[in-house]
């Protein structure tokens, strides 16, 4: 489904994302693993460390995912409804991961996307959560929910869990609609917004074409009124924000560079790159994308 130009140059620490800078269509960015042209030859005495020494070095590296810095269910509504949140690592700005639709964010970014999330948590405080009706979070209210309801939940969750800004907001697929709208509604402390293969919303999509997206469909645990209140609304009205925007389009994702360039107009400081991968492109390019996200907050 649809829910689940200016080209920028993004630098990663040990890899380079190379894209042409122009005012036209995007050119693809690729990873380059550059060898040292003048390698230093080790002396015989220190040529190869012992297996024990190598094991000790590996084991000495801390795993930021093994000990969450924030974990639990936090109240987001007067009726006591709670959402599950987990954060790892330290450092500012905090990175907030917003999942696709419908999915539990903690599962999406930890169980399935651990290398990506671990790379982020090694460098910054990184948080994922389960939206209402998903994962370990409480059920969503039995009523149609619009994008204001969903962003209200996230805003209340961050306050209840004392996860303070500034933030870099990262949205995968449908989550991209949420983070762009959040940056518009709650601009204070937003250092950057990153979209991971987020198709442009559709102004013409109807429930006849996608009945599974109806708010009361058994396949819609969030009760999000996806067609009129997300797809159609965001296609017809631009909600601009001040933070820098990075649009990452996958070569084999849900749409193409031209389609996803739709988002570039939402921020005056926007850029787009294309990376080889499928819709969950952060699983195909975990290091490059994580480092590009970290760079947004520098």
**pLDDT over 90 at 274, yes or no:** yes
Domain-embedded: residue 2:
no
The CATH number of the domain where 134 resides is what?
A: 3.40.50.1820
Model pLDDT, residue 139 = 97
Closest among 200, 186, 174, 157 to 70, alpha carbons compared: 157
**pLDDT over 50 at 159, yes or no:** yes
Model pLDDT, residue 54 = 45
Model pLDDT, residue 47 = 44
Domain-embedded: residue 137:
yes
Domain-embedded: residue 251:
yes
User: Do residues 113 and 286 make contact, with C-beta atoms less than 8 angstroms apart?
Assistant: yes
**pLDDT over 50 at 205, yes or no:** yes
Per-residue pLDDT of 36-64, as tens digits, reads 443 333 434 444 445 454 444 444 557 89
Domain-embedded: residue 25:
yes
Domain-embedded: residue 46:
no
Model pLDDT, residue 11 = 36
Model pLDDT, residue 61 = 57
Residue entry with tokens 């080790």: 42
**pLDDT over 90 at 16, yes or no:** no
Domain-embedded: residue 66:
no
Q: Structurally, how many domains does the chain consist of?
A: 1
Domain-embedded: residue 36:
no
**pLDDT over 70 at 31, yes or no:** no
Model pLDDT, residue 232 = 98
Domain-embedded: residue 160:
yes
Domain housing 216: 10-29+84-296
User: Which comes out higher in pLDDT, residue 46 or 257?
Assistant: 257
What string of H, E and C letters represents the secondary structure of the chain?
Answer: CCCCCCECCEECCCCEECCCCCCCCCCECCEECCCCCCCCCCCHHHCCCCHHHHHHHHHHCCCCCCCCCEEEEEECCCCCCEEEEEEECCCCCEEEEECCCCCCHHHHHHHCCHHHHHHHHCCCCEEEECCCCCCCCCCCCCCCECHHHHHHHHHHHHHHCCCCCCEEEEEECCHHHHHHHHHHHCCCCEEEEEEECCCCCCCCCCCCCCHHHCCCCCCCCCCECHHHHHHHHHHHCCCCCCCCEEEEEEEECCCCHHHHHHHHHHCCCEEEEEEEEECCHHHHCHHHHHHHHHHHCC
Model pLDDT, residue 39 = 39
**pLDDT over 50 at 151, yes or no:** yes
Per-residue pLDDT of 62-81, as tens digits, reads 789 999 999 999 999 988 99
């Amino acid at each position: 489904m649809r829910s689940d130009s200016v080209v920028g140059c993004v630098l990663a620490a040990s890899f380079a994302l190379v894209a042409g800078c122009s005012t036209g269509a995007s050119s693809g960015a690729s990873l380059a693993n550059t060898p040292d042209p003048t390698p230093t030859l080790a002396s015989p005495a220190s040529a190869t460390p012992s297996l024990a020494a190598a094991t000790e070095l590996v084991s000495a590296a801390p795993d930021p995912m093994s000990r969450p810095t924030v974990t639990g269910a936090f109240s987001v509504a007067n009726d006591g409804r709670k959402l599950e949140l987990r954060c790892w690592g330290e450092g500012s700005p905090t990175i907030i991961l917003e999942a696709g639709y419908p999915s539990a964010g903690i599962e999406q970014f930890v169980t399935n996307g651990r290398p990506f999330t671990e790379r982020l948590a090694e460098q910054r405080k990184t948080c994922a959560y389960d939206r209402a009706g998903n994962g370990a979070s409480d059920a969503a209210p039995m009523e149609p929910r619009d994008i204001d309801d969903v962003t209200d939940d996230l805003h209340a969750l961050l306050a209840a869990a004392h996860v303070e800004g500034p933030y870099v907001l990262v949205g995968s697929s449908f989550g991209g609609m949420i983070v762009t709208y959040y940056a518009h509604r709650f601009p204070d402390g937003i250092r950057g917004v990153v979209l991971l293969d987020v198709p442009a919303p559709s102004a013409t999509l109807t429930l006849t074409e996608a009945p599974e997206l109806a708010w009361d469909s058994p396949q819609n645990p969030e009760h999000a009124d996806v067609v009129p209140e997300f797809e159609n609304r965001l296609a017809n009205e631009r909600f601009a924000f001040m933070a820098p925007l990075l649009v990452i389009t996958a070569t084999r994702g849900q749409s193409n560079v031209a389609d996803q360039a739709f988002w570039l107009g939402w921020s005056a400081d926007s850029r787009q790159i294309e990376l080889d991968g499928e819709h969950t492109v952060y699983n195909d390019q975990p290091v490059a994308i994580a480092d590009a996200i970290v760079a947004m907050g520098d």
